[in-house]
């Protein structure tokens, strides 16, 4: 881990304890996870107890304490997507990637997670890969879409 | 700071505007049950067992006495059938997590709570936060904190801090209303002891002291 990255992010927020969540989010975006050493640096620089940082990072799903793959898949399992067949899309993604929700593959290509609503029910079933929304999914096309990522 | 009086259970009680209903009641010798309250700590309002009926300005509402400020001419009732029912159900829910807790069993007798009403999920922690807040506010060490959220929420010691601070402190142990903390502490110690070779004697001694009842 490059500690200058963490230092730059903390400096950007003037090292204020009140900006804890923003700082953690920036680190998460930069490294795609929150390594223990990074949390220790944040605790020391912001003078925030480690127990509070643990409380915060385990509370919000946006934070990850394990490394994430290069491409993060968030499949919507909300009501609208569910009735339009999100379960079958999930089965297809599981077959293609070999992942269960919450897992990352060994070569760090994909991380798969399910979410409860992405907020664009009109184009359901929908998934999000690297913050790009892919809607009106059918199992066949989902498999083809996933093959485009490397 | 202004002094005024309010009525609690029909009794005139003197209070000031920096006092909560609970503090005013306690100063007048009126008992309100609490689980998450501690006089040295900031009010938390976690357990809601101190719920009372407060009437101010013609409105009646159910409020948590430990966090609600006392007001002039307020009329507070600490025991009504509605309040008893709330405390009964709360006690029943807490008993699902900590069936053996003496504090909760006492409350169950008082409010006729059925200890077997809800299916048991014995985590032995009711998340009152007494240990967490005591460590942060009084000791200022923050060796123990909450992790996760919702149904998965639990207390957790930070091993790096716990290894340094907890041996000689353990002041949070007697605060725990369910004795769950001892179990959590023993668990953390077992996780960290193989790393810390600094004080093997102290570790051995602590092990005999901290067997959960």
Q: Considering the domain A71-147, what is its CATH architecture?
A: 3-Layer(aba) Sandwich (3.40)
Give the domain ranges of chain A. Answer: 3-59, 71-147
Flag whether pLDDT at B136 surpasses 90. Answer: yes
Please give the mean pLDDT across all residues of chain A. Answer: 93
- Residue A118: per-residue pLDDT: 93
Q: Give the helix/strand (H/E) hosting B132.
A: helix B130-133
Query: Whole-angstrom Cα distance, residue B65 to residue A44?
Result: 37
Decide which of B121 and B189 is more confident: B121
Q: Note whether A116 contacts B: Cβ–Cβ < 8 A.
A: no
CB contact set of B182 (below 8 Å; sequence gap of 6+): B173, B176, B210, B211, B212, B213
**A50 to B158: CB separation less than 8 angstroms, yes or no:** yes
Give the domain ranges of chain B. Answer: 3-47+54-76, 80-122, 130-209
CB contact set of B16 (below 8 Å; sequence gap of 6+): B1, B2, B3, B4, B70
Query: Whole-angstrom Cα distance, residue B34 to residue B114?
Result: 19
Query: Worst-scoring range by mean pLDDT, A2-11, B125-134, B149-158, B175-184?
Result: B175-184
Partners of A50 on chain B (C-beta within 8 Å) are: 142, 145, 158, 160-161
Query: Worst-scoring range by mean pLDDT, B132-141, B154-163, B197-206?
Result: B197-206
Mean pLDDT across B71-86: 95
How confident is residue B2, by pLDDT bands cut at 50, 70 and 90?
Answer: confident
Mean pLDDT across A27-50: 93
- Residue B190: per-residue pLDDT: 63
- Residue A131: per-residue pLDDT: 86
Partners of A54 on chain B (C-beta within 8 Å) are: 145, 147, 156, 158
Query: Whole-angstrom Cα distance, residue B123 to residue B158?
Result: 19
Query: Whole-angstrom Cα distance, residue A33 to residue B85?
Result: 47
Mean pLDDT across A6-31: 93
Q: Note whether B40 contacts A: Cβ–Cβ < 8 A.
A: no
Q: What CATH number has the domain spanning B3-47+54-76?
A: 3.10.20.740
């Amino acid at each position: 881990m490059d500690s200058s990255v963490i230092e730059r992010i903390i400096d950007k927020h003037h090292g204020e304890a009140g900006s804890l969540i923003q700082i953690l989010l920036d680190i998460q975006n930069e490294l795609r996870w929150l390594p223990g050493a990074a949390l220790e640096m944040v605790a020391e620089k912001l003078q925030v107890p480690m127990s509070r940082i643990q409380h915060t990072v385990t509370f919000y799903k946006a934070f990850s304490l394990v490394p994430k793959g290069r491409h993060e898949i968030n499949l919507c399992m909300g009501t609208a997507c569910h009735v339009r067949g999100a379960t079958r899309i999930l089965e297809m993604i599981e077959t293609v990637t070999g992942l269960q929700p919450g897992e990352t593959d060994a070569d760090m290509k994909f991380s798969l997670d399910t979410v409860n609503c992405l907020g664009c029910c009109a184009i359901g079933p929908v998934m999000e890969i690297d913050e790009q929304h892919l809607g009106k999914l059918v199992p066949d096309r989902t498999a083809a879409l996933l093959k485009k990522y490397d | 700071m202004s002094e005024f009086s309010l009525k609690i259970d029909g009794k005139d009680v003197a209070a000031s505007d920096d006092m909560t209903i609970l503090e005013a009641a306690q100063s007048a010798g009126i008992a309100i049950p609490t689980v998450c309250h501690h006089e040295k700590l900031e009010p938390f309002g976690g357990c809601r067992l101190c719920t009372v009926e407060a009437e101010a300005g013609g409105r009646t509402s159910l409020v948590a006495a430990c966090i609600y400020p006392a007001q002039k001419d307020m009329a507070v009732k600490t025991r009504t059938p509605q309040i008893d029912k709330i405390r009964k159900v709360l006690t029943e829910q807490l008993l699902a997590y900590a069936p053996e807790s003496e504090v909760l069993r006492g409350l169950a007798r008082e409010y006729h709570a059925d200890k077997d009403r809800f299916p048991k999920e014995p985590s032995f922690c009711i998340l009152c936060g007494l240990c967490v807040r005591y460590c942060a506010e009084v000791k200022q060490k923050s060796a123990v904190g909450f992790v996760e959220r919702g149904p998965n929420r639990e207390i957790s010691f930070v091993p790096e801090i716990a290894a340094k601070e907890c041996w000689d402190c353990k002041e949070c142990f007697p605060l725990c209303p369910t004795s769950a903390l001892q179990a959590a502490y023993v668990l953390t110690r077992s996780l960290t002891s193989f790393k810390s070779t600094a004080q093997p004697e102290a570790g051995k001694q602590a092990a005999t002291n901290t067997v959960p009842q």
